[in-house]
Structure 1
């Protein structure tokens, strides 16, 4: 009996010992596997994060500058978590080149800021949408028809008339001795320009006014910005605590109803635009494509409505901000202002207004605008989304990662720009001693030290038009007026908060008429 009990115990002990051996082997294998996996995945460096808010405590309201400061400590590619969202931040031309050229296809998609559930057009965007068949089709339409050279040339008369309206408004302030808010004037200029180019048949006839479109676009943008702040609230972003989401949906439906009326007006009363038609505006061309049964992609009306909304989002404030910054820097640098005026007087003379045809003969004017875009970019942060796992400068970037390219830091990098914080238009002149100036920087982002219009296949499609407007507006405001700053000797050039590169304070100045072209 005793021996049988001993044998039973021996078998139990042996079985338990066997289980222990197997468990040890399995646990060691799992530990080794997990450790090996962690060792092989090399994520970008990241500061210590706090629960819920992540790295929000390390950021100021001026995000591009905050990213730049952190990049000096953690390197040109780093990882930050803002609330519930993790971002990979690129802060050097070398990293930007890898993303926008070497791996351009992997980073050709963009992501939407803020909760997408309040966007009634979510998932059908062009400017903010993913890279795919629809995006390629719309990009081809933009570069071959909507923003092609011949179409931009047709809009030259519109640009000329709107510049004249701007000057007449400023002349009125000058005659009355009143301060002029250039921010308001220039935003009106770019708003009217885009409305006339996009919807000339309605805006010009006051069928559906540009002011109503502008009001709705501004309301939607402001509500979207507030909702974007929910990214920092973590779990609470799912709850519409302040009602911004509800208000955004209502504003977007009002916009939707307005554009339904505009599309109906075009369909009922206007002849389809044909190639070579002088009267063709952007809506005419898009609707012609919409009705084309042989088109590669069959557009929907929702896609058309959101395309124009995105166009307003990306154009109105950025174009006006670029002109504002150039004027602010010129006013703060009297010698540069004088040099530009002398060039205009020499090339244009004193009997007529500067025009688009003069621009090729005004290199310093071009340099002023380019330098303004470098130092005060209206879009200091470029956003992308990674579509598959890849390596950037030796670090692993996972698929679906949200990427922020800090153009603000790249265009102020002292390793590539002499005196990067100084306003020096001369650096863009061909005979400049500055290395960057000697290379005659390409505006199409081939030089990744200069990214005012983004880069890669998702670069800005309206860059050429934005430059034309900026050149002529800055030239005309310099040619026609002297400027006295309201309440001081210099313009306050403080940058606003958030991702935007807009001015924090209104650009209020007294215009003193020097030349009245009318």
Structure 2
């Protein structure tokens, strides 16, 4: 071989070996495994099911704790174990602070001007600070405690009347009225059930919003369907938005008129928002649309979640009478029988707290939490590119056999003697999410759930069925973003205490 040819060959060989070594040295982590995908739609068919979280749970047993999906042209991953959830919400939290685009949510929230789906940035930080320091801090919650107490008293009175008449109670309906009235009065000094027309407006808007947000919109994921309203969701969202805007605009004007006339009245959270919007020293100016979007978020997210949690917990107690017995004995011992359980009692009722935690574990009202990666990252040893939608399967986290002993059993005793909580520090139990974008209304939600459930089992025995003749109730999950029961709980209440110790 001539010298010049040998020289070129040597250079080529050196370059080849160098490139292989460099590629080995800087080799990226592999992409997660993925199920077989269909042309164009990818894995969209996996989400058009009654229970996507259950489908994802089954897939994780085959493809691992992190697997990849393509929803049309949208790249996604699903994480299903506490370890991988920790990477999303703690280790790499700054890489997963985005929210995936949802055209229906964007329209309902005035162009993502609320807090739930607002892009991470200065506005979102301002809203989070506003909630923590002004709207839902301990001082404000204490100030509005009489509202919550009054609504629970009305609720117990209603149940007591049914008990006297031997009538059944549709708990889904009554609990939603209770929680909606609490949220509505705290924020707008309006009861949902004060007037028949208004009851139809607020409660119907909440139900319609929750239903439509929980539906998967094909137009958001297949590029050539972007401008087509194939499922009619665009038309429905416009109708809901119109009704909500008219309602909140009227209530806001009433508040503004009362402020001008200085007629006083309860200082609700809408008034606090109006104060903030008029404060020239604020870093960000709150517009009217910002306020409306915030109210839309709170009414939709804060009403049915608490009601559904209470309904699931009571169903579990009916199916586990030994647990019910222990809970009632704890309340009788700590609270007694001469007054109704109050929010201040909850810290002294650890078994009741364990019941609520166990219900959150098995029946999370947010079974799937969605995030969007804002930059390249790694999860579970896999490459996750920027702009990837992340599904955190909270339903799976609570059923992980590596994290929970006998995970399918309802056993509140598993929390005895532990400091495990639901505030995002234990990644096997994330009913309110985790990281910087976790739900800011945790304290209010826990107040409502613990105290209402406590009062219900303190004052009544619950006989399942329209005639009170069912020994157990089914635990089938229904369809919806907040994981309702497939068959709403119907019970005949029987008074335990006579008379019911209602506040004077």
Asked if these proteins are the same fold (TM beyond 0.5), I'd say yes
Establish whether residue 260 from structure 1 lines up as the match of residue 249 from structure 2: yes
Question: 1:342 pairs with 329, 352, 368, which one?
Answer: 329
- 1:213 has 2:192 as partner: no
1:105 aligns with 2:94: yes
**TM-score w.r.t. length of structure 1:** 0.85
Shift of residue 264 of structure 1?
1.7
2:178 is paired with a residue whose SS is: helix
| Structure 1 residues 506 and 133: CA distance shift in structure 2, 3 A | same
Deviation at 1:148, TM superposition (A): 0.4
Deviation at 1:299, TM superposition (A): 1.1
Give 2:170's aligned residue. 181
Indicate the structure (1 or 2) with the bigger Cα radius of gyration: 1
1:445 to 407, 410, 424: 424
Secondary structure at the counterpart of residue 470 of structure 1: helix
Residue-by-residue CA offset, 1:3-49 (whole Å, 9 max, x unaligned) = xxxxxxxxxxxxxxxxxxxxxx9xxx9xx99xx79974622211111
1:461-507 Cα offsets, whole Å, 9 max, x none, are 11111111111111111011111111632111111235432211111
Aligned residue for 1:43? 31
Q: CA deviation at 1:382?
A: 1.1
Distance 1:80 1:195, change over 3 A: same
- Aligned counterpart, 2:440: 461
**CA-CA distance at 1:394 after TM superposition:** 2.1
CA distances 1:203-250 after superposition (whole Å, capped 9, x unpaired): 798699455222223223334444636557774463224543123213
CA RMSD of aligned residues (A): 2.9
The residue correspondences of 1:504-515 to structure 2 (distance < 5 A) are 504-515=486-497
Note closer, same or farther for the CA distance 1:201–1:497 as it changes in structure 2 (3 Å cut).
closer
For residue 405 of structure 2, what is the aligned residue in structure 1? 418
Change (3 A) 1:278 1:468: farther
Please give the secondary structure, in 2, of the residue aligned with 1:270. Answer: helix
The whole-number CA distance in structure 1 between the counterparts of 2:286 and 2:339 is 45
Tell me, which stretches of 5 or more residues in structure 1 are unaligned? 1-24, 431-437
- From 348, 352, 362, the equivalent of 2:339 is 352
Q: C-alpha offsets along residues 118-169 of structure 1, whole Å, 9 cap, x if unaligned?
A: 5471232311111100000010010011010011111211111111111111
Secondary structure (helix, strand or coil) at the match of 1:451 reads coil
CA offset digits 1:90-130 (Å, max 9, x no partner)? 11111111111111111112224355675471232311111
2:237 counterpart of 1:248: yes
Check whether the contact 1:53–1:234 (CA below 8 A) recurs between aligned residues: no
TM-score, structure 2 normalization: 0.88
* Distance change >3 Å, CA 290–CA 376, structure 1 → 2: same
Determine if the alignment matches structure 1 residue 384 to structure 2 residue 371.
yes
Matches within 5 A, 1:488-503: 488-497=470-479, 499-503=481-485
Which residue in the other structure is 1:517 paired with?
501
Equivalent-residue separation in structure 2 for 1:284 and 1:272 (angstroms): 14
The answer to whether structure 1 residue 94 and structure 2 residue 83 are counterparts is: yes
The CA distance in 1 between the partners of 2:470 and 2:220, in whole Å, is 39
Q: Distance in 1 between matches of 2:139 and 2:285?
A: 25
Deviates more, 1:215-224 or 1:454-463: 215-224
For the 8 Å contact 2:74–2:388, the answer to whether it is kept is: no
Task: Tell me what 1:5 maps to.
Answer: none
- Could you tell me which residue of structure 2 aligns to residue 133 of structure 1? 122
Show the counterpart of 1:480: 459
Q: Check whether the contact 2:31–2:384 (CA below 8 A) recurs between aligned residues.
A: yes
Q: Distance in 1 between matches of 2:196 and 2:260?
A: 17
Question: Aligned equivalents of 2:290 and 2:253: distance in 1?
Answer: 15
* Greater Cα offset, 361-370 or 259-268: 259-268
Structure 1 residues 501 and 272, CA, compared in 2 at 3 Å: closer, same or farther?
farther
- Range 159-168 or range 52-61, more displaced: 52-61
| Cα distance in 2, alignment partners of residues 256 and 461 from structure 1 | 24
SS of the residue corresponding to residue 47 of structure 1 reads coil
CA distance in 1: counterparts of 2:71 and 2:487, whole angstroms = 27
Residues 52 and 233 of structure 1 are in contact (CA less than 8 Å); yes or no, is this contact kept in structure 2? yes
How many residues are matched? 479
Q: Does the 8 A contact of 1:63 with 1:497 survive in 2? A: no
CA distance in 2, matches of 1:233, 1:105: 28
C-alpha distance in 2, partners of 1:317/1:137? 26
**1:415 is paired with a residue of what secondary structure?**
coil
Distance in 1 between the 2:265 and 2:398 partners?
39
